[in-house]
Amino acid sequence: MEKQREKLKKFHNKAVWAELIVMACFTLLMCVYISPGSFRHSMRFMLENPLLIVLNVLPVAVFLLVLYFICSNSFISGGVTNLIFGLMNYANLLKIDGRDDPFVPGDFALLREALQATGEYRLDMHPGIIALIVLSSAAMILLGVWLGRTEKRPVLPRVIGAVLSVAVFCGCFFTVYRDRELYASFPVSSEYNVTGIFNELGFNYCFLYNFDLYAAEKPDGYSQEAVERDIEEYTSDTADTAEGERPQVLMVMCEAFSDLFENDAFTYSDAEHPLRAYREVCASPNAATGEIVVPNFGAGTANTEFDVLTGMQTNLIKRTGSSAMRSFFKDIPSAATALADCGYDSMYLHPGDSWFYNRNSALSHMGIESLIFSEAFDEETRLLDTAFLDVLWDELSERTSGGEKLFTYATTIQNHQAYNYAKYDFEIPRVQTELSLSNEAEEYLSVYGYGIKCSSEMLLELTERLNSLTEPYVLVFFGDHLPNLGPDYLSYRELGLDLGDGGTAGQLVDSCTVPFVIWVNDAYLAGRDASEVFSGLELPADGRISACFLGEIALELAGCETADPYFSFLSELRRELPVIKSGIVGTMDGALVSSPDDEQNALVQRLHCWQYYRMVKQ
């Protein structure tokens, strides 16, 4: 046995470089296999674009070499490298499963948030993949322990080898891995589907390319002087145009709220319909309805908050996508700061934790004065919309009792995924439909439908309470994104709905469209005709606008649209291009244009440049 071991050690010493190559290739193949996409498709894509193989294996090879030069044991180096890259790719898999959002370097600073999120999603933990990572890494390390170190080499060559390896990688990182043209040159299925790009180009390459994913990207052709000319132009006519008493302004963003149950596949009676109460509010003469196009499908609540509050677009922060609340670290203007100039205090209310999505810091930078999170709610009931309404009402009553004007942005949480029966400790009604659904889709839709019913009833009760007041109120109620009802749009497909981000402009926009209702109480109207109030907003024919325009509409209804020149610009832009979404624009007649003309592109460019100025330069 000992003689065989010695023979293997001699062979091991001669074949060490071949061993390193084989282990680097194995780790790369394992990383591709762990990817959420099809292994066969990903490998075929890489073989058709062989540079991707180099870009994905290089960080593995460099890490492996540095460890080898340090410890002189190829198998231990390979095992540790395999474990680290395997776990990073596994984290990417889980994050995409739960949030449809790839793992990026900034997530290392958000481990607490990630651990919390795993408790809120019903994730497939992929035990087979865990076994693959752990067992393959352990096998390499144990083999390295058994064979021992390779023949002793002088310290100086090992140090030089490690330094050169790091130097080569650093040179590549600041050149090849930062090359935007190279990244954009690969023929991906959809340049706007960040998850798909990670799957096709490889996690290792995309992880390094997106090292500063959350930082705002300077637009092509950006000119600070041009933006400042726009500021001067739209500042020249700013004035206090409000007549009479200013209203209280209340925006309620309801987690995953949608009108999905208006689909003909459902067979509810009017009395039992999940949207019964919502329908009653929408049918009121005090209401106007429409749809907003939000940044994401199935997740990204805080991104919608960013768009609505700032009038800027998450989708314009970076071409490859971003988490908006982590993309700035300074004060930026918002609807809250514009209303502050008109004498309003501001409050944000949410039953979730303050650190989630970096809200505590980001919302403070947006100028919101009072931030109220989970601590204000009873732990046992804080997720319910009924508890949300009670806390909201108490805060509104207390903060406006002396005649103060208040801007409130409140975000609910009850309809947050996961949508499984265990979400509630009682049996909920099963979804009513004429279709034969899978067990998974039936569960998702049943749980989601109960939550929608609760949200609708909360909205109706809120409007009834507001209408009992003698002071004017503007309420804007809307969803943050469509719900994620199973992998690959499972429930939507079974309902016959055509959603997705790799097809037509309609598919992409419909996947990110949720309803809104604007409601004003009788005290706000004070004898005026509501239809005249709403017609002045000049909503498009189909009522669909981008989420970045919703805050501007609230400012108009408060008579404060000219308080900030940027929002004056948005008021004008909305009446030209009510929808702007990932290279697609929508016109006032409801048409979607996937190839905007020069005039339309100039308007989008103007928005993009002004946004960059507000986020970075102002």
Q: What is the mean pLDDT of residues 58-67?
A: 91
Label residue 214 by pLDDT band (50, 70, 90): low
Q: What is the pTM of this model?
A: 0.73
**What per-residue confidence (pLDDT) applies to 330?**
82
Residue 238 has pLDDT above 60, yes or no: no
pLDDT-above-70 percentage for the chain:
89
Structure tokens at 291: 């749809």
Label residue 212 by pLDDT band (50, 70, 90): low
Look at 73 and 348; give whichever has higher pLDDT. 348
Residue whose entry in the numeric block shows the structure tokens 């006032």 = 588
Structure tokens at 525: 């109207």
In the sheet that 405-411 helps form, which strands lie side by side, from edge to edge? 370-372, 344-349, 405-411, 248-254, 473-479, 513-520, 287-293, 544-546
Which class for 276: exposed (0-12), middle (13-18), buried (19 or more C-beta within 10 A)? middle
Residue 147 has pLDDT above 90, yes or no: no
Q: What is the pLDDT of residues 242-278, one digit of tens each?
A: 445 899 999 999 999 999 999 999 999 999 999 999 9
Q: What is the mean pLDDT of residues 234-248?
A: 67
Instruction: Please give the distance of CA 312 from its chain centroid, rounded to a whole number.
Output: 14
Label residue 125 by pLDDT band (50, 70, 90): confident
Label residue 156 by pLDDT band (50, 70, 90): confident
Label residue 241 by pLDDT band (50, 70, 90): very low
Q: What is the pLDDT of residues 442-461, one digit of tens each?
A: 999 999 999 999 999 999 99
User: Coil, helix or strand for 303?
Assistant: helix
Alpha carbons 144 and 146: distance in angstroms, whole number = 5
8 Å CB contact between 52 and 41? no
8 Å CB contact between 337 and 354? no
**What per-residue confidence (pLDDT) applies to 316?**
93
Q: What is the mean pLDDT of residues 327-347?
A: 93
Q: What is the pLDDT of residues 5-17, one digit of tens each?
A: 666 666 666 777 8
Average per-residue pLDDT for the chain: 88
Q: What is the mean pLDDT of residues 418-432?
A: 93
Residue of 558, 534, 550 whose CA lies nearest to 339: 558
Q: What is the pLDDT of residues 505-561, one digit of tens each?
A: 889 999 999 999 999 999 999 888 999 999 999 999 999 999 999 999 999 999 998
Alpha carbons 467 and 528: distance in angstroms, whole number = 15
Q: What is the pLDDT of residues 186-199, one digit of tens each?
A: 888 766 566 778 88
Residue 99 has pLDDT above 90, yes or no: no
